[in-house]
Amino acid sequence: MDPIRIAVVGVGKIARDQHLPAIAGNRAFGLAATVSPHDPGVEGVPHFASLDALLAGGPAVDAVALCTPPQVRYDLASSALARGVHVFLEKPPGATLAEVAALHSQADKVGATLFAAWHSRFAAGVAPARAWLAERRIDKVEITWREDVRVWHPGQAWIWEPGGLGVFDPGINALSIATRILPRPIFLQAGTLEIPANRAAPIAADLQFRDTAGAPVHMDLDWRQTGPQSWDIVIETDAGTLKLSSGGAVLTLPSGTSHDEDHEYPGLYARFATLIRTGQSDVDIDPLRLVADAFLRATRVSVEPFED
C-alpha cells in the first residue's frame, strides 16, 4: 500500500518536536512537503510559504497536518478539504466551536477525513484509567495543571490573544483526558478566570464542574508555576484512589503504579492513518466545549500585567 503523502503546515516547536518525528516513524506516511512563511522547512523536502501555493503548484498531497495557531486554522482546513485532502487538526481544533462544526460538515460532504487530535488521550495511562473507572462510582475529581508559561510558550503572543485560550492551551489537555476517562459527562457550575491587565486570555483559572450524577470535579490551572510542574488528575472512587500524573504518562491505582514511554504523537498518527484508510472522521469537541463554557460562565478577575 502506498504511503499517505502528508504535508506539515506550520513548522514551529510542536511540529519539529512531535509531528515530524512521528511521521518519520510511521511507514503509513511519507512527508511530501512543509509549509511556513517563516521557517525554512526540512532539508530535502519541498517547502512552500503558503498552503495555497502548495495546493496550486506543489507535489500532490493526500493529507495535511495543521500545526498553526488555532485562529488561522479554519481557512487552511477548508481549503484542503475543498480539494479532498484529509486534515489533521492539532489541539485545540479551532478558535470556535462553530468553525469546527462547519469543517466536520464539509469533510462529510466531500468524503475526506477530519481528525481533531487530542494528544494527551494517547498518554500511556489514559486507556487503562478509562477501563478501571468504567465500573467504579466516582466520588470526587481533582485536576491540577500548573506549569511555567515562560518555559513552554516563550514569546508566543498569539496564545494570549482571543482564540489563543491562554492557560487553557495546556488546560484543555487535562479536559481531553477527563472527558475520555470519566464514565459520565461533566459540566461547569462556577469558576474564576484570572486575566492579566495587558492580555486578553487568562493566566490562571479555578473551575467547579460536576458530573451528571453529582460528583464534584475541581480544576486548578495556573501558568505561573515555577520549579516542578504539575499535570495531575486524582479521582476518588468507591474502590480507592486513581491518580494520573505527568500528563497521563504515570497511572497509580490501589494495586500499584505503572509508567510507559511517551507514545502520544505516534499514537495520533496511527489513529489518523486508520481513519483515512477506513474513510472515517474523528471530531470530538467536548474538551473545547468545556473551555467555551468557562469563558461563558466563569467570573473574570483582572490581575497584574504579565510580560514574557
Q: Is the pLDDT of residue 49 over 90?
A: yes
Could you tell me the three cell numbers for 129?
A: 484509567
Could you tell me the three cell numbers for 180?
A: 475520555
Confidence of residue 63 (pLDDT cuts 50, 70, 90): very high
Residues of the chain with CATH 3.30.360.10: 124-260+292-303
Q: Is the pLDDT of residue 260 over 80?
A: no
Q: Is the pLDDT of residue 120 over 80?
A: yes
For 96, list phi and psi in degrees, rounded to 5. -140, 160
Chain-centroid distance, C-alpha 91: 3
Q: What's the whole-number mean pLDDT along residues 176-192? A: 98
Q: What is the pTM of this model?
A: 0.95
Could you tell me the three cell numbers for 293?
A: 463554557
Chain-centroid distance, C-alpha 34: 21
Superfamily of segment(s) 4-116: NAD(P)-binding Rossmann-like Domain (3.40.50.720)
Confidence (pLDDT) at 155: 87
CB 92 within 8 Å of CB 287 = yes
- Vertex 12 angle, CA 6 and 13, to 5°: 110
Confidence of residue 1 (pLDDT cuts 50, 70, 90): confident
Assign 127 to helix, strand or coil.
helix
* Longest CA span, the chain: 60
Catalytic residue among 91, 109, 140, 243: 91
Sign of CA dihedral 252, 242, 229, 172: positive
- CA–CA separation, 178 and 241 (whole Å): 15
Confidence of residue 261 (pLDDT cuts 50, 70, 90): confident
- Which residues make beta-bridge pairs with 302? 195
* Residue 140 annotated in active site: no
Residues of the chain with CATH 3.40.50.720: 4-116
125-177 pLDDT tens trace: 999 999 999 999 999 999 999 999 999 988 889 999 999 999 999 999 999 99
Given CATH 3.30.360.10, say whether it is the number of domain 124-260+292-303: yes
Q: Is the pLDDT of residue 262 over 90?
A: no
Confidence (pLDDT) at 308: 84
